[in-house]
A and B are shown apart, each in its own frame.
Chain A
């Protein structure tokens, strides 16, 4: 337990270590971690949401949409970073590519499952009211699939924060992972302190996205909110891929 006390002391000192001047502060490293993660998630959303939503709207390509989820998981981030390093040299580009490779599949899968799973009766009713395909998508299918859509984005965001720190192991510096990968300078207490910060960061990102999801969910759907909130990130994808 002594190590945990030392680790919290390290956090309280914002990452400063006696006799080692010029180290970046934990606040700075946390912001950099968030920045690198946010870029990766943003690119992934731009690629994956339209793709998943469109496939779901057409009710086509279920095999592709569901199986990309499994392929993405099969790519160990450190392996992707290592191979990227071998071919291109490690930099922000390779890290973002690794993040996007990781984050796109869960978003596509869940967006697809969400839109595909909207009750056909509702879509038929909307069509009967004279809505065009795009209007149905924007005003019926999208609002009704906010839950699954955010499940995918949350899963992806958590993976991305986690992987951003792994990039430090591959030699990409500037994030909280630097502290974890550098026990020589920071000692075990620093490593543990940074690990606590990373865990807190991931939980905070997950919490913020849950709040955002709640704000974006149409009021009529909020009654069953607690059930959605308790749903784990992977279950939606799994349950339907077996049916």
Chain B
């Protein structure tokens, strides 16, 4: 932690010698003059800076969404079967969802500490509202006739849930996953304020150094690209998992 005001740091650096001091011996004239985009800097720093940040970012998001999905699925199944968990879950998750991310991270640092656990707890909390409400909406939207048919075929409640209700709820569940994944990828850029990981790390360095434009564009661009790619992958997954929805659509 211990953040120096980035604007202030920028002025100090600019007043001294080259604009970007800390980028190694290979500083080209492009880097020294802080042009808009220096591809040589990117190729030099992909290995040591960008790839670890990107990998950390993916990991943060993947862990958060997986845990969030497991919790939400369990809560939603209980709410679907017994009905009594819905209101309290909705109220609590809605309040958490309203709390700004930067504030929630700091609120968690007090009891948990500035580590990966605070980061993941915060990220998981933000997935709950989206995933819970979508899974529940999906399960509830299964038509009664279909449930009757499943029962008529002699399915137990468990069989009906696994073979009929959950598959039919998949489009809604994946729609929720898309929103959750993209939201978490966006929020993970803020994680650097409490834990040294994710694409927020190079963004923060670059803001302090000038600001150094190339790094801002690459790190910011990677965060956006990652969100778009993850979203596209989930759309693809939905197409593969629910071939019947396409027949309906036309």
Contacts and interface: CB of A to CB of B under 8 A. Distances in A.
A215 interface: no
Contacts, number: 193
Interface stretch (B21-29, B74-82, B186-194): B186-194
Contacts of B200: 78
Contacts of B213: 86-87
Contacts of B4: 184
Interface in B53-77: none
Given A73-B183, A198-B100, A238 B224 contact: no
B187 to A, nearest CB: 8
B124 to A, nearest CB: 16
Nearest to B203: A82
A225 B77 CA distance: 26
Nearest to A81: B220
Interface residues of B, number: 68
Interface string B88-103: 0011011101111111
A10 to B, nearest CB: 12
B5 interface: yes
A80 B97 contact: no
B5 A192 contact: no
A184 B190 contact: no
A182 B9 CA distance: 12
Contacts of A3: 110
Nearest to B183: A73
A44 interface: no
A129 interface: no
A238 B130 CA distance: 9
23 contacts: A70-B179, A70-B231, A73-B182, A73-B186, A75-B186, A75-B224, A76-B189, A77-B186, A78-B220, A78-B223, A158-B98, A165-B100, A166-B101, A171-B7, A171-B211, A180-B106, A181-B3, A195-B103, A195-B104, A199-B99, A238-B130, A239-B134, A239-B137
Interface of A: 3-4, 7, 70, 73-80, 82-83, 85-87, 90, 158, 161-162, 165-166, 169-171, 173, 177-178, 180-184, 188, 191-192, 194-196, 198-199, 202-203, 206, 230, 232-235, 238-239, 241-243
Interface of B: 1-7, 10, 36, 87, 90-91, 93-95, 97-107, 109-110, 129-130, 133-134, 137-138, 141, 171-172, 175-176, 178-179, 182-183, 185-190, 193, 199-200, 203-204, 206-207, 211, 213, 216-217, 219-221, 223-224, 227-228, 231
